[in-house]
Amino acid sequence: MVTFVDRVTLHLRAGKGGNGCVSVKREKFKPLAGPDGANGGHGGDVVLVADPQVTTLLSYHHSPHRSAGNGGFGMGDHRSGAAGEHLELPVPLGTVVKDADGKTLVDLIEPGMRFVAAPGGIGGLGNATLASPKRKAPGFALLGTPGWEGDVILELKTVADVALVGFPSAGKSSLIAAISAARPKIADYPFTTLHPNLGVVEAGDVRFTVADVPGLIEGASEGRGLGLEFLRHVERCTALVHVLDCATLDPGRDPLSDLDVIVAELGAYPVPEGQTPLLERPQVVVLNKIDVPEAQELADFVRPDLEARGYRVFEISTVSHAGLRELTFALGEIVAEHRIAAASAPAPERIVIRPQGSEKDFTVRVEGGTYGPVYRVEGVKPLRWVQQTDFQNEEAVGYLADRLEKLGVEDELFRVGATPGATVVIGGDDGVVFDWQPALTSAAELMTAPRGTDPRLAQNPRRTTSQRRERYHERMDAKADARAELEAERIAQRDGEVEE
């Protein structure tokens, strides 16, 4: 049995960027011809694509874990790593993408719309790219950054022109089957329809879609029955058709009371900001099952009251197809008028994405700790630079220190009161912890040292001139004290011999 799924949680992992390469070109008569390590490839993105041919999120319900390809490693001789393969996930029209906190990211309502849900990691730079006139042969390369990994929520809201609403077993599935080519399951018990059904209707020159929204009962807007799960499928419709059962055998029910309950539930359901409330949209009332004699009498009885409320009323029978032509042409007129009004409306304001360079690239926050204050550095650039650093390579660590100093992290740490040896964390809870030493901020490009090392990170055992002079004076003072002590003992011994 095919299951309809309109809400899933996807666990996405974008591709990791490939590491850069450390290599030096070697040829005959040119043992050191310069660095030729290439860059790593970027990781693949996970992209959501609105596809009209997809109607359900069922495949993602069964396989929610999706990942893109990783980028290839850079190689010597300037051979860059291959980019990771992108993963495109087709989703139905009307899919709303939300983050794990429920914030709406994008609404995919147009065919072909694309949204990068998980951006891939950045490939690391090789030592050929890092070379400069001051650093001719870098002994390090940058690592690739990990791709985005997390959860997104896909919520399907059916895109239809007309929505059929009403109590269970009111004949909505029979109506959509009678006016379109849709073949929903039809039975004589409540909640036969467990998912919205879509049908395409042609009325003259107008073609429009009709959605059957199941499970509306009293309290549906508060979560009773199946109504809350499927009321969101009414949000995008142009018109509402209230299907009322005139042949119900349930005691205490009649078309007017059923209409009052459904109207109350539709009014209590909040629509997203910017959309027309459900009860302010065009509404039509359909009195169904008039092929039953008692139902025809009841329809004739309640029709004046419904028209007095301002509704346009149609009496139909899905068995004999009575009144269906008039109903479909009336709905076609409503849809056509709405489309003309929408076409003449001003185009929505285009979303402009501006670069974030004007904002501060990082922040330094002072946190209390058991062993003293902890200075946490947060920001996109510092975190990315840490991810790109190979901490087993001293020269790479020195390069990281230079980048942080040029960004202004050094000055900011001084401003907030950090002292040499203070604990500094770059990133969140899983960030890199190190003891801050301001001496690491001098230019690494001007230092000469073996490839892959940074002399600023090594302890210099050689004493300065002042230290040697101080040590010399200490030794001379110690010798003078020792001679004075020996002389005192000799004099004391001599005096004792004279007294005897």
Residue numbering of the annotated binding site for Mg(2+): 173, 193
CB 399 within 8 A of CB 134: no
Nearest to 38 by CA among 15, 71, 69: 71
Nearest to 161 by CA among 222, 238, 245: 238
Q: Residue type at 319?
A: V
Element (H, E) at 411: helix 409-415
**Beta strands at 239-245 and 423-426: parallel, antiparallel or unpaired:** unpaired
Q: Which residues are annotated as a binding site for GTP?
A: 166-173, 191-195, 212-215, 288-291, 317-319
Residue whose pair of structure tokens reads 């997203």 in the numeric block: 272
CB 18 within 8 A of CB 124: yes
CB 228 within 8 A of CB 217: no
Nearest to 282 by CA among 339, 229, 334: 334
CB 172 within 8 A of CB 214: yes
Tell me how far the alpha carbon of residue 471 is from its chain's centroid: 63
DSSP letters, 191-206, are: T---S-EEEEEEETTE
**Separation of alpha carbons 263 and 221, rounded Å:** 11
**Separation of alpha carbons 419 and 432, rounded Å:** 18
Terminal alpha carbon distance of the chain: 125
Residue 315 pairs in a beta bridge with 287
Residues belonging to the chain: 500
User: What is residue 154's three-state secondary structure?
Assistant: strand
Q: Which residues are annotated as a binding site?
A: 166-173, 191-195, 212-215, 288-291, 317-319
User: What is residue 190's three-state secondary structure?
Assistant: coil
Output the CA angle 253-316-319, nearest 5 degrees.
100
**Separation of alpha carbons 48 and 58, rounded Å:** 15
Q: Residue type at 314?
A: F
What are the φ/ψ torsions at residue 245 (nearest 5 degrees)?
-90, 115
Neighbours of 329 (CB within 10 A): 12
**Beta strands at 162-165 and 239-245: parallel, antiparallel or unpaired:** parallel
What are the φ/ψ torsions at residue 12 (nearest 5 degrees)?
-105, 145
**Separation of alpha carbons 358 and 210, rounded Å:** 48
Q: Which tokens is 223 given?
A: 């979560």
**Separation of alpha carbons 313 and 306, rounded Å:** 7
